[in-house]
Amino acid sequence: LLLRSLICAMATWASSATSMPLAATRVRARIGAGGATGRVALRPRRRPVPRAAPVTTSTTPPPFVDFDTTGCGPFPLLDPTRGYTHVSPGVCDTCADSAEARRAWVELLLGQLPSHRANAERTAKFLGDECPPDYTERYRAWEGDYEAYLEEVSKDGVPKGAGATLLDMVDEKERLLRRRGLDDMFAGMKAGENAIASVLFHSIASEIDGIWFPARTIDGDTPDDDATAKAAMIRAVIECCLAGNLFDAGAAAAVQGVQVGDFCEPCVVEPDSREMSEEEAGRYRLDANQLAEIFARARARVSRDASGGWRFDSLSEIVSRCVKTENPGWRRIVVFCDNAGADVMGMVMLARALAAVGGDDTKVALVANTHAALNDVTHAELCSFLSTAAGGGGGEEPADPVLAAQMERGRVTAVPSGQFSTLLDLNRTGPELNAWVEEEFRSVPAGEEWLVVFDGMGRGLESNWNPAPYFKDGVNALNLAMVKSEINAKRLGAEVYDCVVKLSVGGSK
């Protein structure tokens, strides 16, 4: 969350970065009123999150019962005999068994409320005349609803295995929001971050092409098969994905109570533009060139060289697969996207690269939530981002001819997941996604030619941490994320801001 909050964090990395990717020097476009503003302050003290009392709204929101999951069913790459559950060891299973475990996650969820309030205000401004007059009252009422629910699930006396899981808690958050008529509380922030990321995309894509040139595959020509260059390109793309995930970390540290240590000496607090003059706000408004520099520093922070290797590191296996002389890469790839902005930019970059590596017979489905959930990108937002990234400003020539050609030929496509949660339950994927996979089975049966990518903490750490035992034999799974909360770090035996690049194979334990 809050792309602008990394300004202070990135400043501490500048002195240690030995080099800066070329993308930082190539961007000259400027983001205007839609750009990011924010304010930083000294490290905040830990304190209880104030609880909002339920209020009565002046306008009755549209009736909502539950999300429509008609047609949803098990993901076709699952082996139905292996009893898939979305549970990651130590998360939902533990919550179901232990009130103490549930209370730990409840504390984290309550700690996110300051960010939610700020983004509700930002979205109200973003909606303008379309914003309901009682939007703020609806939000305050929702806080009271959600706090009451979390208090209830925290109680003792629930039989083992019958307690609310983390999936239950985040699902109920979204249901309660809709019952108060709040469909997308982060719409304003996502719009701004997607606009910035779409500008950064082209300079970074140009840099990636300078390492290994996938454009040679556009017209059916043989791509550059230099293994060293291709390996360097794959590594650079993965580092861009991790950097995009890091952009969410500043606010995560603030709202989750993470002790960020040397990540950001002056910690970030939630900005309040109401207390800022125009002159003061202007000092925090970034153009795309500045954001490119910040993104370059994020890449330096997650660099495999800088860390001496990632905590969970399957890069060598990924590279080996991509540089094969015969049938490199994977023929069918499903990428479950996480956040809007720099994060989804990284996933599009990954899809672009893997489609180029695999050649004309490779297809990549970029999958995003059907319904809004926090700052996760939605299918509609993903489609808009792809259109902007590939087509640019509507000129005669596409802004990115590589991505434009891949999309035109169906080699990169966007598919809705059918989901409404920040976690991912593969037992209830949507009919469009399941139909796409089933159709592709006709030419590529389930097995080693398939790759499923789980991006981010919600989809790849807090759920689906170990999906291989549940997949059909041979199907590859890639968990690609950054550990951004103490509760997950402790569970995984890792440190906050450790990187996860973990490849596994279906049927293995």
Of all residues in the chain, what percent carry a pLDDT higher than 70? 75
| Residue type for position 78 | L
What pLDDT is recorded for position 444? 98
Answer whether residue 5 shows pLDDT above 90: no
Lowest mean pLDDT of 41-55, 169-183, 346-360, name the range.
Answer: 41-55
Decide the pairing of beta strands 450-455 and 332-336.
Answer: parallel
- Asked if residue 45 has pLDDT above 90, the reply is no
- Count of Cβ atoms closer than 10 Å to residue 28 Cβ: 11
Taking 3-state DSSP, the helix, strand and coil percentages for the chain, each rounded to the nearest 5, stand at 50, 10, 40
pLDDT bin (cut points 50, 70, 90) of residue 37 is very low
Closest CA to 446 of 347, 334, 295: 334
Is the model's pLDDT at 250 over the cut of 80?
no
pLDDT at 268: 31
Mean pLDDT, residues 8-23 taken together: 41
- pLDDT at 153 > cutoff 80: yes
Per-residue confidence band for 172, with pLDDT thresholds at 50, 70 and 90: very high
pLDDT of residue 16: 39
Span 464-479, mean pLDDT?
A: 96
Least confident of 252-261, 358-367, 370-379, 460-469: 252-261
pLDDT > 80? residue 489: yes
Instruction: Give the H or E element holding residue 115.
Output: helix 113-127
pLDDT in the model for residue 4: 41
**Between residues 352 and 89, the one the model is more confident about:** 352
The mean pLDDT of the chain is: 81
| Residue 241: predicted pLDDT | 96
Residue 329 — pLDDT band, cuts 50, 70, 90? very high
The mean pLDDT value for 309-321 works out to 96
Is residue 23 predicted with pLDDT exceeding 70? no
Q: How many CA atoms are closer than 13 Å to the CA of 68, on its beta-carbon side?
A: 4
- Nearest-angstrom CA–CA distance, 76 and 436: 10
Q: Round to whole Å and give the CA distance between 251 and 245.
A: 12
Can you give the pLDDT at residue 57?
46
In 3D space, the residue among 36, 40, 38 whose CA is nearest the CA of residue 12 turns out to be 40
Q: Which two tokens stand for residue 443?
A: 């030419």
Most confident of the ranges 116-130, 244-258, 293-307, 433-447 = 433-447
Supply the pLDDT for residue 87: 73
Q: What is the average per-residue pLDDT within 229-256?
A: 75
CA 293 to chain centre: 21
- Give the pLDDT confidence score for residue 347 in this predicted structure: 98
What's the confidence (pLDDT) of residue 93? Answer: 82
What is residue 393's predicted lDDT score, i.e. its pLDDT? 52
**pLDDT classification of 85: cutoffs 50, 70, 90:** confident
**pLDDT of 207-223, one tens digit each?**
999 999 865 544 555 55
**Cα distance between residue 197 and residue 205, in whole Å:** 12
pLDDT over threshold 80, residue 34: no
The pLDDT tens digits for 180-199 are 999 999 999 899 889 888 88
Band the pLDDT of 62: cuts 50, 70, 90: low
Region 276-293: what's the mean pLDDT? 54
Does residue 369 have a pLDDT over 60? yes
